[in-house]
Amino acid sequence: MAGSGWAPPRLDGFILTERLGTGTYATVYKAYRKRDTREVVAIKCVSKRSLNRASVENLLTEIEILKTIRHPHIVELKDFQWDSDHIYLIMEFCAGGDLSRFIRMRRILPEKVARVFLQQLACALKFLHDHNISHLDLKPQNILLSTPENPQLKLADFGFAQYMSPWDEKHVLRGSPLYMAPEMVCRQQYDARVDLWSVGVILYEALFGRPPFASRSFAELEEKIRSDRAVETDLVVEAVKKDQEGDASAALSLYCKALEYFVPALHYESDARRKEAIRAKVGQYISRAEELKALVTSSSKKLLQRENPARELLKEMAKDKPRLCAALEMASAAIAKEEEGKDDGDTLELYQRSLGELLLLLAAEPAGRRRELLHAEIQTLMSRAEYLKDQMKMREAQSMGKEALAEPVRSACTLQ
Ligand code: ADP
Ligand code: MG
């Protein structure tokens, strides 16, 4: 049986090879054109049995239209064929896999990358909507990447959703409800706007590594979507846990990271009640962060100011190695600056530069006492640099948080 059997199906003019993926409706294979160029393509085999009542003819007309669509961020449909059981769509091959795998492999995407991807996705959707085509099944599995390096997004698997009912005869939902707008899941009327809901869910997943309403059941999903609780980030949950475990410095850095997300939310929230709820949270995190900061600072000062005889010994042993000497000097300068209270970007850079050098030297250092000492020193320097980075981040998050908290109060005063 083509599409789901062990061996790839046969298709005139092509050699089908490995299976690239199986989606909701079809199986996709990598293939080569037999003629001259041996062009690489992806062939999607759709079983006719998965089509709903809309006639196959209508679908073929639709595919004919899709063939005319050309956009840099939409997977190109090159051609199609069919036989008694299947429709075969011959598409541009995307070597970078799909966005779902891409996010999974990196856990989360940096904001810069997410921003570019969102722009490309918006571009493709605008183009489709201008042509009166809705996607209706937007999710990371249906967004492909052109290449593994510097990938461009390519929107796939669209235009068929209207022929493929999201519900099959046994009333089982096909596709992932995690990305579907509630009106679609609830089988009420829906329109092109459902795509926008999905875009939001995808963006959230790109930034946080999982969809905002990740659930194990419909009931849980519905409860999460309906509730007007702010989507709690894992960061806060983790922070509270670390705090309870007595790990003050881990809790502190998690609270600060959480503030980085909640402060912008405070800015953008337009619903007064929810804004008030976020304000209360931001206030609460700031005051806990301040208490933790006092705790962490006093204990780490003690730790950092301890005399370090190993460092002196290492310097002694480095006397015949000018490069190592210089790198250790640079590290000492960073420590001195920090102890003078210059806990800023310059000091951090000094730490980072010396660490870069020391790590290189460590790689070339033969086994022995000096290597052990160097290794230990690098670890100390790394945790100091980490600590400094956290301090800087925390200051920034706190001042941002305080500014944001002060803002609505001011505007409320001017109103009165
Ligand atoms: P379905 O309609 O069954 O969901 P899709 O078109 O979404 O089928 O394809 C299923 C999977 O196959 C995708 O998630 C992706 O991993 C892979 N795939 C689809 N099209 C291509 C392509 N053009 N190039 C590379 N991989 C693809
Ligand atoms: Mg799909």
pLDDT per residue as tens digits for the range 41-95: 999 998 887 776 555 776 777 788 788 889 999 999 999 998 888 889 999 999 9
Higher local confidence (pLDDT), 318 or 190: 318
pLDDT per residue as tens digits for the range 277-307: 888 888 888 889 889 888 887 776 666 655 6
**pTM (predicted TM-score):** 0.62
Element (H, E) at 120: helix 111-130
How far apart are alpha carbons 173 and 170 in whole angstroms? 9
41 lines ligand 1 (CB under 6 A): no
Residue entry with tokens 């722009």: 119
Pairing of strands 143-145, 26-33: unpaired
Q: Provide the Cα torsion 126, 127, 130, 135; round to 10°.
A: -80
Per-residue confidence (pLDDT) for residue 137, from 0 to 100: 86
29 lines ligand 1 (CB under 6 A): no
How far apart are alpha carbons 152 and 410 in whole angstroms? 44
Nearest CA to ligand 1 atom 10: 23
CA angle 348, 261, 269 (to 5 degrees): 145
21 lines ligand 1 (CB under 6 A): yes
| Span from the CA of 169 to the centroid of ligand 1 (angstroms) | 24
Catalytic amino acids?
137
* 131, 175 Cβ separation under 8 angstroms: no
Nearest CA to ligand 1 atom 27: 20
Nearest CA to ligand 1 atom 12: 21
pLDDT tier, 3 (very low <50, low <70, confident <90, very high otherwise): very low
Could you tell which of 18, 28, 146 is best to mutate to test the pocket of ligand 1, judged by most ligand atoms within 8 Å of the CB?
A: 28
How far apart are alpha carbons 195 and 129 in whole angstroms? 10
- Kindly list the structural domains of the chain, giving each domain's residue range(s) and its CATH number in brackets, ordered by start: 14-92 (3.30.200.20), 99-226 (1.10.510.10), 234-302 (1.20.58.80), 308-393 (1.20.58.80)
Element (H, E) at 222: helix 218-226
pLDDT tier, 176 (very low <50, low <70, confident <90, very high otherwise): confident
Lowest mean pLDDT among 24-28, 73-77, 152-156, 358-362: 24-28
234-245 helix and 248-268 helix, angle to the nearest 10 degrees: 150
Tokens representing residue 162 in the block: 């209207």
Per-residue confidence (pLDDT) for residue 409, from 0 to 100: 45
| Span from the CA of 89 to the centroid of ligand 2 (angstroms) | 13
Q: What is the mean pLDDT of residues 86-111?
A: 92
